[in-house]
Amino acid sequence: MLWGFSSHLVCLIFLLIGSLVCMGGGLISLGLESSCVIEWEMVSLNSSSVVMTMVFDSVSCLFLGFVLFISSMVMYYSGDYMSGDMNYDRFMYLVFAFVFSMGMLILSPNLISILLGWDGLGLISYVLVIYYQNEKSANAGMLTVLSNRVGDVGILLSISLASMLGGWNLIFYSDLGGHQFFFLNVLVCMAAMTKSAQIPFSAWLPAAMAAPTPVSALVHSSTLVTAGVYLLIRFGGVLGGASVQSFLLIVSCLTMFMAGLGANFEFDLKKIIALSTLSQLGVMMSILSLGFSDLAFFHLLAHALFKALLFMCAGVIIHGVGEFQDIRGMGGLVVGLPITIVCMNLAGLALCGMPFLAGFYSKDLILEVAFMSEINLVGVVLYVLATGLTVCYTFRLVYYSLSGVPGLGSVGGVSEDHSMMVGSVEVLSVAAVVGGSFMSWFLFPDPYMICMSSGWKFLVFVLSFVGGGVGYITNMVGVGFSFKLLKFYFFTVVSGSMWFLPFLSTLNLSSWGAGGANYLFTGGDSGWFEYFGPQGVIEWSLGTMVFLQASQNNMLMIYLKSFFFWLAVVFFIFI
């Protein structure tokens, strides 16, 4: 039981540090709008020095506190979930490295140190996705790391373009709305879109479900997928241009609509929750593109609480039914797993934005502010549909977990005998209930002024009731309704496949790679690169050295030729 004691001890330390940092960030945000910047001179050699800079303000302290709190719960949860794994210690070290990379990204005030945490997240996420070492994990890991590499290239190019600003610290990015910084804006937004899985980089996020469930709870709540949103919150001046804002608004609204639509046609439990993460990332990006970074940050923190709870409950269910993830075989789970199902439905209702839960305080405010903003009819329709679809797939899960046709969940032997897993779920369920109201007091001491008509105000409640009814009743209809869906086969396939984005992201990748390699080899390595590269330099160098060697030989003929040459030059000059 040594591993159990060590994991308990580590998690308690993480929980203590996270609570202290979160309290410090809350005091600063109330406090007094101050921040602390620490510069640590790591290496000094002659006149050169390598300095590590960390910034502690309300945003970084609060976010880091939530990351550490959720990480401690995930590690405590992993003590039971990964107890039978032969490489348990390696898994813990990887999770530690993952959290460390996220902390480096959060506390970094410049692009150079952000790149270290950014690249660390991409590399360690690849290792965690391929943790089970099978073909499915290998394919998912390759799609994940290649998609995230696009964002890494965007950060690298941003570093080179940012040199014209005189430095890479955040202070130089206070106002980037000018046309001279357009490409820098585009590159930073592209990096954020890849990490937060916006269209067309959305395929990797559901594929990353091949990782163990504790990793999914950590990745999809407060670390990897939220890095792009956090980057844009930090670099607020990047969204100064109207064209960049409009583009990001369109992409984010389409992302949340696509993810909500796809989740209603999905039957894999973890993939449904992953698509809900994608939908909520679209909500954060959309309100961020409208200029309300404080609301995006509020929803980022609230979403981290109930999304980690959803994944942990899903892990308990999958463990209980014998590593089975199809929700159609999970009827009557509330009999064998009462606490887990109650907490899962609590997190689902918080995801929908039901009153007085964590998601209500952020999501309702986001919808009202978005309806009051200057967006067109298409944006309003996408917001409305995405909200209704969120409630629809949530009540679909409610049906299969509470009632439904008795399946594997009603088999004897399914019980909540994993005390560490259930304990972490209970702690996070309390946070999912009170976290939203608690943070609203800290982040918004001066409330927003909302001026809306009663019709717009009650639109969200009407959508919630309609979406919940559709999600619950359509699953009660049974097999006959499923056969009727065959008449709309094309619509069902398109809606349930994320608009073919996973297919397009991997379409003929091997043939393209082989064709590109052949073209680069014949036209590049064996062609122009050789002519103007190493072979060309060698030939030019050899010719030059032969000429110089010949000119240095003490030969009478060379001296005579040189004398007559310069004599002719002088003759033509003076004539």
The count of other CB atoms within 10 Å of the CB of residue 43 is 9
- Tell me what pLDDT residue 238 has: 60
Instruction: Provide the β-strand partners of residue 40.
Output: 52
Amino acid at the residue 236: G
What are the mean pLDDT values of the chain's consecutive 10-residue runs (575 residues total)?
A: 54 73 69 74 74 82 88 86 82 87 87 86 90 87 88 86 71 57 81 89 88 88 87 73 80 91 87 91 91 89 91 87 79 81 90 87 89 85 89 87 63 68 88 87 76 79 81 63 61 76 69 54 61 73 75 66 75 72
Q: How far is CA 511 from the centre of its chain?
A: 29
pLDDT the model gives residue 290: 87
Instruction: For residue 411, give the DSSP letter.
Output: S
> Look-up: residue for tokens 């007085």?
356
Residue 54: what pLDDT? 84
Whose structure tokens read 């397009």?
504
Residues 6+ apart with CB under 8 A from 15: 68, 69, 72, 73
SS3 sequence of 35-52? CEEEEEEEEEECCEEEEE
Burial class (CB in 10 A: 0-12, 13-18, 19+), 458: exposed
pLDDT of residue 480: 43
Tokens 């999970």 — which residue? 330
Q: What sign has the CA pseudo-torsion 323, 328, 334, 336?
A: negative
- For residues 475 and 401, the answer to whether their CB atoms sit within 8 Å is no
Taking alpha carbons only, the member of 153, 164, 163, 160 closest to residue 193 is: 153
Residue with tokens 């009202």: 368
Residue 519 CA to chain centroid, in angstroms?
34
Q: Is the dihedral of CA 129, 502, 306, 213 positive or negative?
A: negative
**Nearest partner of 188 among 218, 166, 208, 168, judged by Cα:** 168
Please tell me the distance from the alpha carbon of residue 533 to that of residue 519, in angstroms, as a whole number.
17
> What does the alpha-carbon distance between residue 403 and residue 399 come to, in Å, rounded to a whole number?
5
Element (H, E) at 55: strand 48-56
What is the 3-class SS of 6-28, one letter each residue?
HHHHHHHHHHHHHHHHHHHHHHH
Q: What is the largest CA-CA distance in the chain?
A: 114
